[in-house]
Protein backbone atom coordinates (compact mmCIF):
# COMPACT_ATOMS: atom_id res chain seq x y z
CA UNK A 1 0.00 0.00 0.00
CA UNK A 2 1.09 3.56 -0.75
CA UNK A 3 0.91 5.91 2.25
CA UNK A 4 0.84 9.65 2.87
CA UNK A 5 -0.08 12.00 5.71
CA UNK A 6 -0.61 15.65 6.58
CA UNK A 7 -1.02 17.52 9.87
CA UNK A 8 -2.25 21.10 10.06
CA UNK A 9 -2.83 23.38 13.09
CA UNK A 10 -6.18 24.52 11.69
CA UNK A 11 -7.55 28.06 11.59
CA UNK A 12 -7.85 28.84 15.31
CA UNK A 13 -5.05 27.20 17.27
CA UNK A 14 -1.44 28.35 16.99
CA UNK A 15 0.01 25.11 18.40
CA UNK A 16 -0.38 21.75 16.69
CA UNK A 17 -0.85 19.08 19.37
CA UNK A 18 -1.40 16.27 16.86
CA UNK A 19 1.28 13.85 15.66
CA UNK A 20 1.37 11.38 12.79
CA UNK A 21 3.52 8.70 11.15
CA UNK A 22 2.91 6.94 7.83
CA UNK A 23 5.67 4.41 7.17
CA UNK A 24 5.14 2.12 4.16
CA UNK A 25 8.38 0.25 4.89
CA UNK A 26 6.78 -0.95 8.13
CA UNK A 27 3.22 -1.11 6.82
CA UNK A 28 2.32 1.16 9.74
CA UNK A 29 0.26 4.33 10.21
CA UNK A 30 -0.31 6.14 13.51
CA UNK A 31 -2.19 9.34 14.42
CA UNK A 32 -2.39 10.91 17.88
CA UNK A 33 -4.17 13.92 19.39
CA UNK A 34 -2.50 15.20 22.55
CA UNK A 35 -4.09 17.01 25.47
CA UNK A 36 -2.73 18.99 28.41
CA UNK A 37 -1.72 22.51 29.39
CA UNK A 38 1.16 24.52 27.93
CA UNK A 39 2.79 22.29 25.30
CA UNK A 40 2.04 19.05 27.17
CA UNK A 41 -0.39 17.82 24.51
CA UNK A 42 2.21 18.17 21.79
CA UNK A 43 4.70 16.18 23.89
CA UNK A 44 2.17 13.45 24.70
CA UNK A 45 1.15 12.98 21.06
CA UNK A 46 4.75 12.77 19.93
CA UNK A 47 5.60 10.27 22.68
CA UNK A 48 2.61 8.17 21.61
CA UNK A 49 3.54 8.06 17.92
CA UNK A 50 7.29 7.66 18.43
CA UNK A 51 6.79 4.96 21.05
CA UNK A 52 4.47 2.88 18.88
CA UNK A 53 6.70 3.23 15.82
CA UNK A 54 9.81 2.23 17.79
CA UNK A 55 8.15 -0.88 19.26
CA UNK A 56 6.77 -2.04 15.92
CA UNK A 57 10.09 -1.40 14.19
CA UNK A 58 11.94 -3.54 16.74
CA UNK A 59 9.40 -6.35 16.45
CA UNK A 60 9.45 -6.41 12.65
CA UNK A 61 13.25 -6.47 12.66
CA UNK A 62 13.03 -9.79 14.52
CA UNK A 63 10.13 -11.37 12.63
CA UNK A 64 6.94 -10.20 10.87
CA UNK A 65 3.61 -11.05 12.51
CA UNK A 66 2.54 -14.61 11.67
CA UNK A 67 -1.13 -13.64 11.71
CA UNK A 68 -3.83 -11.46 13.18
CA UNK A 69 -3.24 -12.59 16.75
CA UNK A 70 0.44 -11.63 16.63
CA UNK A 71 -0.25 -8.29 14.95
CA UNK A 72 -3.01 -7.34 17.39
CA UNK A 73 -0.82 -8.31 20.35
CA UNK A 74 2.03 -6.22 18.96
CA UNK A 75 -0.14 -3.11 18.58
CA UNK A 76 -1.64 -3.55 22.04
CA UNK A 77 1.82 -3.95 23.57
CA UNK A 78 3.15 -0.93 21.65
CA UNK A 79 0.29 1.22 22.94
CA UNK A 80 0.79 0.03 26.52
CA UNK A 81 4.48 0.94 26.29
CA UNK A 82 3.59 4.36 24.88
CA UNK A 83 1.16 4.79 27.77
CA UNK A 84 3.95 4.05 30.23
CA UNK A 85 6.30 6.51 28.50
CA UNK A 86 3.72 9.31 28.72
CA UNK A 87 2.94 8.52 32.35
CA UNK A 88 6.59 8.48 33.37
CA UNK A 89 7.35 11.70 31.51
CA UNK A 90 4.39 13.46 33.14
CA UNK A 91 5.41 12.29 36.61
CA UNK A 92 8.83 13.86 36.20
CA UNK A 93 7.66 17.39 35.34
CA UNK A 94 4.97 19.33 37.17
CA UNK A 95 3.82 21.24 34.09
CA UNK A 96 3.22 17.97 32.22
CA UNK A 97 1.02 16.29 34.83
CA UNK A 98 -2.31 15.20 33.44
CA UNK A 99 -1.16 15.13 29.83
CA UNK A 100 -2.44 12.38 27.59
CA UNK A 101 -3.15 11.46 24.00
CA UNK A 102 -5.70 9.69 21.87
CA UNK A 103 -4.22 7.31 19.31
CA UNK A 104 -5.24 5.23 16.31
CA UNK A 105 -2.87 2.90 14.51
CA UNK A 106 -2.96 0.41 11.65
CA UNK A 107 -0.50 -2.35 10.71
CA UNK A 108 -0.65 -4.19 7.39
CA UNK A 109 0.40 -7.84 7.31
CA UNK A 110 -0.26 -10.21 4.46
CA UNK A 111 -3.72 -9.46 3.09
CA UNK A 112 -4.99 -8.07 6.39
CA UNK A 113 -4.80 -4.90 8.46
CA UNK A 114 -4.79 -4.95 12.25
CA UNK A 115 -6.01 -1.79 13.96
CA UNK A 116 -5.93 -0.42 17.49
CA UNK A 117 -7.29 2.77 19.02
CA UNK A 118 -7.93 4.67 22.21
CA UNK A 119 -9.92 7.90 22.52
CA UNK A 120 -11.70 9.60 19.61
CA UNK A 121 -9.12 9.39 16.83
CA UNK A 122 -10.69 7.32 14.07
CA UNK A 123 -9.98 4.72 11.40
CA UNK A 124 -12.11 4.49 8.24
CA UNK A 125 -12.00 2.15 5.26
CA UNK A 126 -13.25 2.92 1.76
CA UNK A 127 -14.11 -0.44 0.16
CA UNK A 128 -16.19 -1.02 -2.95
CA UNK A 129 -16.89 2.71 -3.02
CA UNK A 130 -18.42 2.80 0.47
CA UNK A 131 -16.88 4.45 3.53
CA UNK A 132 -17.11 2.57 6.81
CA UNK A 133 -15.98 3.65 10.28
CA UNK A 134 -13.92 0.84 11.82
CA UNK A 135 -13.54 2.32 15.31
CA UNK A 136 -15.90 3.43 18.05
CA UNK A 137 -15.05 6.64 19.91
CA UNK A 138 -14.12 6.48 23.58
CA UNK A 139 -15.87 9.76 24.36
CA UNK A 140 -18.68 11.35 26.31
CA UNK A 141 -20.39 12.11 23.01
CA UNK A 142 -20.42 8.43 22.06
CA UNK A 143 -21.74 7.40 25.47
CA UNK A 144 -24.59 9.91 25.26
CA UNK A 145 -25.34 8.86 21.69
CA UNK A 146 -25.52 5.21 22.77
CA UNK A 147 -28.04 6.09 25.49
CA UNK A 148 -30.21 7.90 22.97
CA UNK A 149 -31.42 10.44 25.53
CA UNK A 150 -30.69 13.60 23.52
CA UNK A 151 -30.59 14.41 19.84
CA UNK A 152 -27.63 14.95 17.54
CA UNK A 153 -28.14 18.74 17.49
CA UNK A 154 -27.82 18.90 21.28
CA UNK A 155 -24.74 16.68 21.18
CA UNK A 156 -23.10 18.85 18.52
CA UNK A 157 -23.65 22.04 20.55
CA UNK A 158 -22.48 20.61 23.89
CA UNK A 159 -19.36 22.16 25.44
CA UNK A 160 -18.38 18.68 26.68
CA UNK A 161 -18.59 16.92 23.33
CA UNK A 162 -14.79 16.60 23.02
CA UNK A 163 -14.23 14.92 26.39
CA UNK A 164 -12.66 11.48 25.95
CA UNK A 165 -13.28 8.59 28.33
CA UNK A 166 -9.96 6.83 27.65
CA UNK A 167 -6.54 8.06 26.52
CA UNK A 168 -2.87 7.16 26.76
CA UNK A 169 -1.38 8.60 29.94
CA UNK A 170 -4.66 8.37 31.86
CA UNK A 171 -4.37 5.12 33.81
CA UNK A 172 -1.98 2.21 34.13
CA UNK A 173 -3.71 -0.19 31.71
CA UNK A 174 -5.92 1.68 29.24
CA UNK A 175 -8.53 -0.50 27.49
CA UNK A 176 -6.95 -0.60 24.04
CA UNK A 177 -9.34 -1.95 21.40
CA UNK A 178 -7.76 -4.13 18.68
CA UNK A 179 -9.21 -5.92 15.67
CA UNK A 180 -8.26 -7.17 12.22
CA UNK A 181 -9.97 -6.63 8.87
CA UNK A 182 -9.28 -8.10 5.41
CA UNK A 183 -7.71 -5.87 2.77
CA UNK A 184 -9.06 -5.79 -0.76
CA UNK A 185 -6.72 -4.57 -3.53
CA UNK A 186 -8.53 -1.25 -4.07
CA UNK A 187 -9.28 -0.42 -0.42
CA UNK A 188 -8.29 2.96 1.01
CA UNK A 189 -7.69 3.32 4.75
CA UNK A 190 -7.96 6.69 6.51
CA UNK A 191 -6.75 7.54 10.01
CA UNK A 192 -7.64 10.95 11.44
CA UNK A 193 -7.91 13.06 14.55
CA UNK A 194 -11.25 14.63 15.43
CA UNK A 195 -10.23 17.88 13.75
CA UNK A 196 -11.18 16.22 10.47
CA UNK A 197 -14.38 14.33 11.27
CA UNK A 198 -15.76 17.18 13.42
CA UNK A 199 -15.49 19.52 10.44
CA UNK A 200 -16.19 17.16 7.51
CA UNK A 201 -19.03 14.66 7.59
CA UNK A 202 -18.64 11.07 6.48
CA UNK A 203 -20.43 11.56 3.17
CA UNK A 204 -18.05 14.32 2.10
CA UNK A 205 -15.02 12.28 3.22
CA UNK A 206 -16.32 9.42 1.08
CA UNK A 207 -16.81 11.67 -1.95
CA UNK A 208 -13.30 13.10 -1.64
CA UNK A 209 -11.69 9.67 -1.36
CA UNK A 210 -13.66 8.29 -4.28
CA UNK A 211 -12.66 11.26 -6.44
CA UNK A 212 -8.98 11.24 -5.44
CA UNK A 213 -8.18 7.63 -4.61
CA UNK A 214 -5.55 7.59 -7.37
CA UNK A 215 -3.70 10.56 -5.83
CA UNK A 216 -3.45 10.13 -2.06
CA UNK A 217 -1.17 13.14 -1.57
CA UNK A 218 -3.76 15.39 -3.18
CA UNK A 219 -6.53 13.65 -1.23
CA UNK A 220 -5.02 14.49 2.17
CA UNK A 221 -4.47 18.09 1.08
CA UNK A 222 -8.08 18.45 -0.02
CA UNK A 223 -9.49 16.84 3.12
CA UNK A 224 -7.51 19.27 5.27
CA UNK A 225 -8.60 22.16 3.03
CA UNK A 226 -12.26 21.20 3.44
CA UNK A 227 -11.89 21.01 7.23
CA UNK A 228 -10.27 24.45 7.27
CA UNK A 229 -12.93 25.85 4.94
CA UNK A 230 -15.59 24.60 7.36
CA UNK A 231 -13.99 26.39 10.31
CA UNK A 232 -10.84 24.49 11.20
CA UNK A 233 -11.47 24.91 14.93
CA UNK A 234 -9.04 22.15 15.93
CA UNK A 235 -5.78 20.65 14.69
CA UNK A 236 -6.38 18.47 11.63
CA UNK A 237 -4.40 15.31 10.94
CA UNK A 238 -4.99 12.75 8.20
CA UNK A 239 -3.09 9.63 7.14
CA UNK A 240 -4.06 7.61 4.07
CA UNK A 241 -3.06 4.21 2.70
CA UNK A 242 -4.22 2.87 -0.63
CA UNK A 243 -3.16 1.05 -3.79
CA UNK A 244 -0.29 2.55 -5.79
CA UNK A 245 -1.49 5.04 -8.39
CA UNK A 246 -0.35 2.81 -11.26
CA UNK A 247 -2.88 0.14 -10.26
CA UNK A 248 -5.84 2.50 -10.42
CA UNK A 249 -8.30 2.35 -13.32
CA UNK A 250 -10.17 5.44 -14.54
CA UNK A 251 -13.49 5.85 -12.77
CA UNK A 252 -16.55 5.40 -14.96
CA UNK A 253 -19.31 5.84 -12.40
CA UNK A 254 -20.60 9.37 -12.03
CA UNK A 255 -20.41 10.72 -8.48
CA UNK A 256 -23.49 12.36 -6.94
CA UNK A 257 -23.47 16.11 -6.85
CA UNK A 258 -22.21 17.90 -3.73
CA UNK A 259 -23.25 21.35 -2.60
CA UNK A 260 -21.70 24.32 -0.85
CA UNK A 261 -17.96 24.71 -0.33
CA UNK A 262 -17.40 21.02 -0.88
CA UNK A 263 -19.36 21.16 -4.12
CA UNK A 264 -17.01 23.83 -5.44
CA UNK A 265 -14.02 21.76 -4.43
CA UNK A 266 -15.48 18.62 -5.97
CA UNK A 267 -16.06 20.41 -9.26
CA UNK A 268 -12.47 21.59 -9.29
CA UNK A 269 -11.22 18.09 -8.43
CA UNK A 270 -13.23 16.48 -11.19
CA UNK A 271 -11.93 18.93 -13.76
CA UNK A 272 -8.40 18.34 -12.52
CA UNK A 273 -8.76 14.56 -12.65
CA UNK A 274 -10.34 14.80 -16.06
CA UNK A 275 -7.14 16.24 -17.49
CA UNK A 276 -5.21 13.24 -16.19
CA UNK A 277 -7.16 10.44 -17.87
Mean pLDDT confidence for 229-243: 97
If one compares 66 and 41, the residue with the highest pLDDT of the two is: 41
Concatenated DSSP letters for the chain? -EEEEEEE-TTT-SS--EEEEEETTTTEEEEEEEE-TTTHHHHHHHHHHHHHHHHHHHHHHH---SSHHHHHHHHHHHHHHHHHHHHHHHHH-GGGTT-EEEEEEEEEETTEEEEEEESS-EEEEEETTEEEE-----BHHHHHHHHT-S-HHHHHH-TTTT-BS--BTSSSS---EEEEEE--TT-EEEEE-HHHHTTS-HHHHHHHHHHHTT-HHHHHHHHHHHHHHTT--S-EEEEEEE--GGG-----SPPPP--HHHHHHHHHHHHHHHTT-
User: What average pLDDT does the structure give for the chain?
Assistant: 86
User: What's the predicted TM-score (pTM) here?
Assistant: 0.85
Determine the pLDDT at residue 90.
Answer: 93
pLDDT tens track for 101-158: 999 999 999 999 999 999 999 999 999 999 999 999 876 665 556 666 665 555 555 5
Percent of the chain with pLDDT over 90: 68
Mean pLDDT confidence for 4-26: 97
pLDDT tens track for 69-92: 999 999 999 999 999 999 999 998
Q: Which domains does the chain have, with CATH numbers?
A: 2-274 (3.60.40.10)
Mean pLDDT confidence for 22-49: 94
pLDDT over 80 at 259, yes or no: no
Amino acid sequence: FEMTSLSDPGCVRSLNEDAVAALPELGLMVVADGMGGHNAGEIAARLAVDGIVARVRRALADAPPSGATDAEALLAEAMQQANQAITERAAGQEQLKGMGSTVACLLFHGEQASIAHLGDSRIYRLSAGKLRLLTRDHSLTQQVRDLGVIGEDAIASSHNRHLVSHALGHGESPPVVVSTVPCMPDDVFLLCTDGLNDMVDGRDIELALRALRSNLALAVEQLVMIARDNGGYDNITVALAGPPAASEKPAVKKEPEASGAFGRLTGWLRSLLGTRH
